[in-house]
Amino acid sequence: MRHSPFPQCGKRQRGVALLVALLVVALATILIAGLLDRGELAAARTRNALREEQAQAYARGLENYAAEVLTRAQAQSLGYDAADSIWAIPLPPTPVPGGTIAAQMSDLNGRFNLNNLDPAYDTQGVWLGKFVLLLNALKLDPAIANHIVTWMDTTTPASADDQFYLAQSVPYRRALRPFAHVSELRLVAVVDGETYAALAPYVTALPKGTPINVNTASVPVLMTLSSNMTREMAQAIWQQGGAHYSDRNQVLKAQPALVAIDHPECYGVQSSYFMARGLITLDGLPFEFDSLIENRVSGANGGIRVLQRSRGGD
């Protein structure tokens, strides 16, 4: 007896239908998962954007706080700025809606101003000699000084450094202008990561002519006072960071072995430039802001103002 083939066809059709159904379910699952993932991604982007705006607002608030502290410090000043002034007191992590904020202010007049090395500056030669003393104090190659000068030099149309810059994987040219930020040092020939890490804490990028505050300067920077300075002499002047010199001549009294300060006009006891660094954490996301603040005590442009804002550290 011959059996009809139709039952087998029915089984085959049911099997195909089942496979199609499974495929449809799988595709639907993938589609839904993709939509959910896309939705979560969009929500995360929106959340991060909102947190960014919130962090920016808190950063502006920290700038206002810094200005208020500088105003109070100025009112309490005895005619000089020291490293233990109230502006140096850090703001510890403080709860705010959505997270915490913390801040720390540092005196940039206690650092060596790279822009004093600009060849267009009339006393550049004096500062160049002092910068070499700083490099020696840090046990760095004195040749770095000339490369920094060349980086800013507009009077030299071409230099050997140009070949170095153009040979990099991403070629670039000399700035031919003063430094806008200390981080530009990373681009200068012979300044590698190790050199930058050693030098960056002691230098800054400010308007030309900015003197060094002997009250807030570190030991390596104080070693630029004279070519005869030793580390021990600088440490005695530094006084463990507690120096309170009312004028630069008191430095000589604190260190009798220092007969004279080389080019005393390069030093002072007051500060006009500060870096306010804010660390803001919102929903576990860290935001770091740096604000360069100028505090002019007198003159037509007297007052406190923000000169520069940047993200992240040095």
Model pLDDT for residues 181-239, shown as the tens digit of each residue: 999 999 999 999 999 999 999 999 999 999 999 999 999 999 999 999 999 999 999 99
> What is the SS3 string spanning 113-175?
EHHHHCCCCCCHHHHHHHHHHHHHHCCCCCCHHHHHHHHHCCCCCCCHHHHHHHCCCCCCCCC
* Residues 213 and 81: beta-carbon distance below 8 Å: yes
Percent of the chain predicted with pLDDT > 70: 85
pLDDT at 309 (0 to 100): 94
Query: Is pLDDT of 313 > 90?
Result: no
The tokens for 193 are: 């990561």
Q: Of residues 14 and 295, which shows the higher confidence score?
A: 295
Least-confidence region, from 66-75, 171-180, 251-260: 251-260
Query: Buried (b) or exposed (e) across 73-103, using 16+ Cβ within 10 A?
Result: beeeeeebbbbebebbeebeeeeeebbebeb
Model pLDDT for residues 25-65, shown as the tens digit of each residue: 677 677 666 666 666 667 667 777 888 899 999 999 999 99
Confidence band, pLDDT 50/70/90 cuts, at residue 88: very high
Q: What is the mean pLDDT of residues 155-163?
A: 85
Half-sphere exposure of 122 (CA within 13 A, CB side): 0
Model pLDDT for residues 10-22, shown as the tens digit of each residue: 656 666 666 767 6
pLDDT at 46 (0 to 100): 77
* Residues 211 and 265: beta-carbon distance below 8 Å: yes
Contacts of 220 (CB under 8 A, 6+ apart): 134, 137, 138, 202, 234
Half-sphere exposure of 36 (CA within 13 A, CB side): 6
What top-level class would CATH report for the domain 107-269? mainly alpha
Contacts for 51-58: CB closer than 8 Å, 24+ residues apart = 51/98, 51/282, 51/283, 51/285, 51/287, 52/287, 54/98, 54/282, 55/280, 55/282, 55/287, 55/289, 58/96, 58/101, 58/278, 58/280
Model pLDDT for residues 236-250, shown as the tens digit of each residue: 999 999 999 999 889
pLDDT at 36 (0 to 100): 61
Distance CA 107, CA 171 (A): 35
- Across the chain, mean pLDDT equals 88
Distance CA 145, CA 118 (A): 11
- Looking up tokens 């087998």 gives 8
